[in-house]
Amino acid sequence: MTVVDEICNLFAVKGHAAYVGEPVSQLEHALQAAYHAEQSGADDALVVAALLHDIGHLITKHDEDAADHGIDTRHEQLGQAWLNRYCGPEVTEPVRLHVSAKRYLCATDQEYLGQLSPASVQSLELQGGPFDATEIAEFQRNPWYRQAVDLRRWDDLAKVPGMDVPPLEHYRGRMQRVVAER
């Protein structure tokens, strides 16, 4: 089984689970994020990062309601660690940083916090809340921070029930190219 087959299998087995407090499944969320990345003209690596940014939710041992119990599953770190075996930093760094990007945007964009869903606000508190000035400066020093911010914005848009987007198979070629570049 190739890594792309393994990813598709993860989505087949666990992708239909609810996406942590949102009105879409894990698979719907992933496909919508990838769709928004693709529509924005992102390169293959960033489209794949958008598709797989929450893969940590699919591989965690925590239940979907972990946040309700005050647990931050650190899904972004789990996802990055898993993807590191197959993808370079152009995929893994935006995945790792997409939670930090939410914290960054909450601190730097006056309107952003008000646009978050209730589930995202709840997880924000578990993840440390908005960045302070030192954390903002540190985040901006990361060479992948802009890609992480783009990914975060697509992540926030990817919560629309019934949205018509291409299926997972549409992204197989992109995933294969990104993995082959590793």
Please report which confidence band the pLDDT of residue 170 belongs to, taking 50, 70 and 90 as the band edges: very high
Instruction: Convert the pLDDT of each residue in 133-145 to its tens digit.
Output: 999 999 999 999 9
Put residue 30 in one of left, alpha, beta given phi > 0 → left and psi -120 to 50 → alpha.
alpha
Please report where in the chains the tokens 């928004």 appear, as a residue: 36
Instruction: Convert the pLDDT of each residue in 17-69 to its tens digit.
Output: 887 778 999 999 999 999 999 999 999 999 999 999 999 988 866 556 544 44
The fold adopted by the segment(s) 3-181 is Hypothetical protein af1432 (1.10.3210)
Could you tell me the sign of the dihedral formed by the alpha carbons of 154, 54, 10, 22, in that order? negative
Instruction: Convert the pLDDT of each residue in 107-132 to its tens digit.
Output: 999 899 999 988 888 888 888 899 99
Mean pLDDT for 64-77 is 59
pTM to 2 decimals? 0.90
CA 101 to chain centre: 10
